[in-house]
Amino acid sequence: MLEFFVHVLTSVIVVVPLWRLFARAGLNRYLALLAFLPLGVIVALFVLAFARWSPHAEEQY
């Protein structure tokens, strides 16, 4: 049971910042859910690194 809570806490710690980063970059913030896949965080970071960031992206939190 403790392992489940550790997994959920770790997921939240990773997904929430990615969610906000994708929103600020003007990308679909659901891409942050890639973090739930194996190696998904690496894919998400590559998407963020090589995407064109919209300077006037609408920030909706």
Q: Which residue type occupies 32? A: A
Q: Distance between CA 43 and CA 40 in Å, rounded? A: 5
Assess if residue 60 is contained within a domain.
Answer: no
Assess if residue 40 is contained within a domain.
Answer: yes
- What pLDDT score was predicted for residue 42? 92
Assess if residue 18 is contained within a domain.
Answer: yes
Assess if residue 55 is contained within a domain.
Answer: no
Question: What pTM does this model have?
Answer: 0.73
Length of the chain: 61
19 lies in which domain range? 2-50
Q: Distance between CA 33 and CA 44 in Å, rounded? A: 9
Q: What is the mean pLDDT of each run of 10 residues along the chain (61 residues)?
A: 89 90 89 88 90 68 49
Assess if residue 58 is contained within a domain.
Answer: no
Assess if residue 8 is contained within a domain.
Answer: yes
Assess if residue 26 is contained within a domain.
Answer: yes
CA 9 to chain CA mean position, Å = 15
- What pLDDT score was predicted for residue 59? 55
Q: Domain count of the chain? A: 1
